[in-house]
Amino acid sequence: MFDGSKSFKCQECQFHFFINSACAVAAVIVNKAGEILLTRRAFEPCAGMLDLPGGFVDPLETAEQAVVREIKEELNLEVVATHYMQSFPNEYVFSGYSVFTTDLGFICEVNDFSAMQVNDDVSAYEFKAEGEIDFEAVSSESIRQVIKAFFAINRAESLDSN
């Protein structure tokens, strides 16, 4: 677990290692019924729990490129538009090691779900309406926050259009 230290310095060689946040993306994809697409994690951490499509941003890749790539890799879906929402901090613990991430939430548009299939680190997918989501079954606090932020934005936009 994180002890609050932001850097470490080797007393022998004087190398200074800084703990920085890695960048990750999470996609909210909505079907025509207004339900969001949730995935099930195939592997640890949190195997079997609900998640959003997404993953780490590769070196020299934009967040927008990453979210399009991750959705293609995980679900074989073609993204036609991306809309950035906001970011959320996360501590991703893998094999006992903390990777700190800044999870960037995107709303992604997909026109055709007919070729959708699970791949990569996704074991299943399901569409859920807001009231159907068991937030205790969602894999991380940051993903819960992305989902909640999406529904808050959606409600605000509905109020504005009335």
**Closest to 74 measured CA to CA, from 26, 4, 21:** 26
- pLDDT of the residue at 4: 63
- The verdict on residue 70 lying in a domain is yes
**Closest to 64 measured CA to CA, from 25, 21, 113, 112:** 25
How do beta strands 36-41 and 7-9 pair? Answer: unpaired
- The verdict on residue 113 lying in a domain is yes
- The verdict on residue 97 lying in a domain is yes
- The verdict on residue 7 lying in a domain is no
Domain that holds residue 97: 20-161
**Amino acid of residue 40:** R
Sheet holding 97-109, edge to edge: 54-56, 22-29, 97-109, 81-94
- The verdict on residue 9 lying in a domain is no
- pLDDT of the residue at 46: 92
- The verdict on residue 99 lying in a domain is yes
pTM of the model: 0.88
- pLDDT of the residue at 162: 60
- pLDDT of the residue at 29: 98
- pLDDT of the residue at 99: 86
State the chain's mean pLDDT as an integer: 92
pLDDT tens digits, 16-43:
887 788 999 999 999 999 999 999 999 9
Grouped pLDDT means (10 residues each) for the chain, 162 residues: 69 83 96 96 94 97 98 98 96 86 97 96 96 96 97 82 63
Number of domains observed in the structure of the chain: 1
- pLDDT of the residue at 19: 78
CATH number at residue 92: 3.90.79.10
- pLDDT of the residue at 95: 85
- The verdict on residue 1 lying in a domain is no
- The verdict on residue 3 lying in a domain is no
